[in-house]
Structure 1
Amino acid sequence: MKNIINIIWLTLLITTSCKDFLDEKPRKGLVIPEDLDQLSSLLLKETESLQDPMWGEISTDDYYLSEEDFAAKEENFRNAYSWAENNVFGKETVNDWLLHYRFIYYCNTVIEKLKEITPTNSEKAKWDRLMGEALFYRGKFHYDIAIIWANAYSNTKENITLGIPLRLNTNFNEISFRSSLNDTYSQILSDLEMSKQYLPETSFHVTRPSKLASRAMLSRIYLSMGNYEKSLAEALACLKVKSDIIDFNKINGGLAYPIPAFNNEIILHSYMLISLRNIYVNKDIIASFKDGDLRKSIFFSSDVSLKTNFKGSYYGRATLFSGLAVNEVYLTAAECSARIGNEDEAKYFLKKLIENRYKEGTIPAIEKMDKKELILFILSERRKELIFRGTRWGDVKRLNNENYAITMKREVGNFILPPNSPKFNLPIPQSIIDLSGISQNPR
């Protein structure tokens, strides 16, 4: 493992094209991982492989801070929370952008080295799994960056619309540039589709990717692109293998963290490192949980000042779960079915979820809803069910792309983010712009 860590410094070069910076030569004795065990170790870095970017979630409107708590937050948090005009990340050099591209470098290292290894019969399953995992993570991490730092995908946008830099090899001398949005999503989909050729159907633990995880991720991405047919197809393929849903009637809402970690709904475990201390849920969201909705007591608790805290993470404690799970797949299947005109199928998938979220006798009547009513109800259930799961930022971007005109507001501070504002694309950290010279997002 010590030898493997020696390559980490190289990853700091992946976003730069500055000549002086690249004049530094690799130091003597640099050891690159060569065998399957060493390559596996690169993909087992829990703090990076399981850690999702948090700045999209920090920028959402599901919570608020008091004036005192806002003033006490770090500058980058305050900037993201208030949708500031200036450089959100200040002079910070370690951020989601850098950490994700660093792990993409690990993935590229694994992919390139695996192509040089001819596995024995006994090694073939491990070789396949590692190739599948590297392709999965490279596709997923590029998408995680794109959903925060690039426009929502649209078939109507010209190919010149900027996406993100695509890093597909370990050549740190290769100049970085922002690919088009179309090319960005084409590469993301290609990696995830290809990962299915190598991954096992299910993994030995939900902290490792599988075909199931690839399908769930593809379903999420196709939904974000407005490709409802393909999103539905991937969702259905997921549900054929795994359809477990937790019955919230059997959950003790009085516990500090009622939902256990690694529960039966989880397809792929990951998380965001956001502290929930002094973060309060917006009152309009709390009001949307009607009588009989079990999530109100399982997801939330109130302090002595009657401010509402979130406690419903699938992590089993204060850390925010942001991975892939069956409940999201059901919601995606319901929405996509409704959008392509299969209302009966949409109601079937939706009922699978809500029957396990409401007390008996209080389940909302959806049988007579028309297509428009049904889609709006599914979207309201999606916001409630997936609160603090890292999906809200991308959902608002793609819905505003479809003229839903969602305005984000803060209860404290009078901060407003209008629909389709350029601020929905976070500014690329200035440290990255200074090194690489790539185009900055307008604010």
Structure 2
Amino acid sequence: MKTRIYYTLLVCCVFSLFSSCKKFLEVEPKGKVILKTLTDYDLLLNSQNLTSSGEQLLNQMSDDLDIPTVDPMTRTTTILSYVWSNDLNPTVNESPLVWGKHYANIYAFNAVINGVEQATTGTPKEKKKLKAEALVGRAFEYLYLVNLYARTYNAATANTDLAVPFIISTDIMNKTPERSVVNFIYGKIIDDINAAIPDLPANNNTNKFRGSVNAAYSILARTYYYMNNFTEAAKYADLALKEPGTGLMDYNPVATKADIPNMPINKQEIYARYGTNPASVVLPTVEFLKMFDKNDLRLKLYYTKLGDFTFPTRGVSQFSPNGSAVSFGTSVAEMKLIIAEAAARANNLQLALDQMNDIRKFRTATAAYQPFQSSDKEVVLQRVLLERRFELAFKGMRWMDMRKLDAENRMPAVNRLNAKGDIISTLEPHSPKYVLKIPAAVLNFNPDMPQN
């Protein structure tokens, strides 16, 4: 009988994660990574693997992306995710995509959480800081997992809806915990971040990949947002924006995308995270492109081959951000849009408009800018949601937003079309495909784990 140990599935991921750190980590015995000094733990938190949390496949599943040349018979992960296949990992011999990456990062964060206080160097304060950063990082990983492998948060069912195992150990011989329920995972995310805040630095302005108080607040804001607790979401979004080193960038004087600062020092970012495959070609749907006003500066900076803005042909324009990849983490714009949406839902329309227009005036050519105005609650809410779609495009957020909107009966059916325009796949409202299947390789080692 196969040993029912999930961590076995992470071995290759963990070795890959630590391979980027092998220059500073002593390995004894061979094949086992030993973290000893405070510097070891600090550098681990800077490793490229740990700063890559966003999954590019989430963009493939969104309704904003198109693959005009799609061949549904091609069984690549790109195509499987694009047509919302029942299983992104249909065989037990494949490394578990999405799931495996997040749990590999969790394993590393657990190594810091469980071990840094025993480091041979460093002060107690320095050790607590790194542990706090790891708690924030682990919480961010679980926020992805609960929004991918569980049903959308519903207060009425959150205590029974299955989510994912909550793993805190680094002992690879431990048996996998059972799948926790949604409310438990969200509770742990919130508890861990609140426990971390007293030991975090006030900001991370010199390295947006690292944890800080304002980064913690921003993750709490996103957490409460996906819990539909808009009051708490707006509160923490506002706290995240209190840091004076953050702010929106006016795109009007920006000549080219190369002039936009890179992610680690960009004042618009709060908690920066790379995507897993930043070099992927991203083709927006023509329907999405036509939603933009032609005076929207994001078109000029982030999209190519715009022509006369009529977009008559699929697959011509590309999403092409500045030299470095876009951040899948939290941002100033996301926080302002959370505040705006919370205000719109509470019928505080002026606050919603002010927050949204703060963004629009920096994203629209000055000569063409007009503040958006309306006294209709639903019109304002829809405009805020559209602005969220523009600002967070291809940052891994749209799929989770689609799930949330679907639960509110705000998502229509989404069709995938081949080159001839024939429908080859449809994501129906309230489809079970909005919840990802547990990878086959995971179930192979954990046969008692319930499948979605």
Q: Give the equivalent residue in structure 1 for 2:156.
A: 156
CA distance in 2 between partners of 1:10 and 1:378 (Å): 41
Q: Give the counterpart letter for 1:385 in structure 2.
A: E
Give the TM-score, by structure 1 length.
Answer: 0.85
* Cα deviations by residue, 1:189-245 (Å, 9 ceiling, x for unpaired): 111222212110112311212111111111111111100011001111111114511
CA distance in 2 between partners of 1:411 and 1:175 (Å): 40
Q: Give the equivalent residue in structure 2 for 1:328.
A: 334
Q: Give the equivalent residue in structure 2 for 1:270.
A: 273
Contact 2:275–2:328 (Cα < 8 Å) also in 1? yes
Q: Give the equivalent residue in structure 1 for 2:14.
A: none
Contact 2:295–2:364 (Cα < 8 Å) also in 1? yes
CA distance in 2 between partners of 1:276 and 1:38 (Å): 29
Q: Cα gap change, 1:284/1:116 in structure 2, threshold over 3 Å: closer, same or farther?
A: same
Q: Give the equivalent residue in structure 1 for 2:107.
A: 105
For 2:304, what is the secondary structure of its paired residue?
A: strand
For 1:241, what is the secondary structure of its paired residue?
A: coil
CA distance in 2 between partners of 1:354 and 1:311 (Å): 19
CA distance in 1 between partners of 2:187 and 2:171 (Å): 21
Q: Give the counterpart letter for 2:284 in structure 1.
A: V
Q: Give the equivalent residue in structure 2 for 1:397.
A: 403
For 2:138, what is the secondary structure of its paired residue?
A: helix
Shift of 1:387: 0.5
Q: Cα gap change, 1:392/1:306 in structure 2, threshold over 3 Å: closer, same or farther?
A: closer
Shift of 1:291: 3.4
Q: Give the equivalent residue in structure 1 for 2:302.
A: 299
Q: Give the equivalent residue in structure 1 for 2:144.
A: 144
For 1:267, what is the secondary structure of its paired residue?
A: strand
CA distance in 1 between partners of 2:6 and 2:123 (Å): 28
For 1:410, what is the secondary structure of its paired residue?
A: strand
CA distance in 2 between partners of 1:358 and 1:87 (Å): 39
CA distance in 1 between partners of 2:82 and 2:315 (Å): 18
Q: Give the equivalent residue in structure 2 for 1:75.
A: 76
Contact 2:9–2:100 (Cα < 8 Å) also in 1? no
Q: Cα gap change, 1:124/1:437 in structure 2, threshold over 3 Å: closer, same or farther?
A: same
Q: Which moved more, 1:265-274 or 1:298-307?
A: 298-307
For 1:220, what is the secondary structure of its paired residue?
A: helix
For 1:216, what is the secondary structure of its paired residue?
A: helix
Shift of 1:375: 0.6
Aligned residues: 416
For 1:164, what is the secondary structure of its paired residue?
A: strand
- Match status 1:134 vs 2:134: yes
- Match status 1:236 vs 2:246: no
CA distance in 1 between partners of 2:50 and 2:214 (Å): 21
Contact 1:281–1:310 (Cα < 8 Å) also in 2? yes
Q: Give the equivalent residue in structure 1 for 2:372.
A: 366
CA distance in 2 between partners of 1:291 and 1:34 (Å): 55
Q: Cα gap change, 1:369/1:298 in structure 2, threshold over 3 Å: closer, same or farther?
A: farther
Q: Cα gap change, 1:439/1:358 in structure 2, threshold over 3 Å: closer, same or farther?
A: same
Q: Cα gap change, 1:114/1:218 in structure 2, threshold over 3 Å: closer, same or farther?
A: same
Q: Give the equivalent residue in structure 1 for 2:445.
A: 435
For 2:363, what is the secondary structure of its paired residue?
A: coil
Q: Give the equivalent residue in structure 2 for 1:208.
A: 210
CA distance in 2 between partners of 1:31 and 1:312 (Å): 38
Q: Cα gap change, 1:369/1:359 in structure 2, threshold over 3 Å: closer, same or farther?
A: farther
For 1:237, what is the secondary structure of its paired residue?
A: helix
Among 241, 246, 249, the alignment partner of 1:246 is 249
- Match status 1:346 vs 2:352: yes
Contact 2:413–2:429 (Cα < 8 Å) also in 1? yes
Q: Give the counterpart letter for 1:228 in structure 2.
A: F
For 2:148, what is the secondary structure of its paired residue?
A: helix
Q: Give the equivalent residue in structure 2 for 1:23.
A: none
Give the TM-score, by structure 2 length.
Answer: 0.84
Q: Give the equivalent residue in structure 2 for 1:419.
A: 429
CA distance in 1 between partners of 2:332 and 2:116 (Å): 32
Q: Give the equivalent residue in structure 1 for 2:227.
A: 225
For 1:250, what is the secondary structure of its paired residue?
A: coil
For 1:63, what is the secondary structure of its paired residue?
A: coil
CA distance in 2 between partners of 1:419 and 1:285 (Å): 19
Q: Cα gap change, 1:70/1:363 in structure 2, threshold over 3 Å: closer, same or farther?
A: farther
For 2:175, what is the secondary structure of its paired residue?
A: coil
Q: Give the counterpart letter for 1:77 in structure 2.
A: T
What is the root-mean-square deviation of aligned Cα atoms in Å? 2.8
Q: Cα gap change, 1:71/1:279 in structure 2, threshold over 3 Å: closer, same or farther?
A: farther
* Cα deviations by residue, 1:103-157 (Å, 9 ceiling, x for unpaired): 21222222222344698xx723421220111101111111112212211111121
Q: Give the counterpart letter for 2:97 in structure 1.
A: N
CA distance in 2 between partners of 1:215 and 1:307 (Å): 38
Shift of 1:373: 1.1
CA distance in 1 between partners of 2:41 and 2:184 (Å): 28
CA distance in 1 between partners of 2:209 and 2:45 (Å): 11
Contact 1:80–1:88 (Cα < 8 Å) also in 2? no
Contact 2:61–2:82 (Cα < 8 Å) also in 1? yes
Q: What are the ranges of 5 or more consecutive residues in structure 1 without an aligned counterpart?
A: 1-8, 16-26
Q: Give the counterpart letter for 1:274 in structure 2.
A: N
* Cα deviations by residue, 1:285-317 (Å, 9 ceiling, x for unpaired): 11111232222222211289774434453xx32
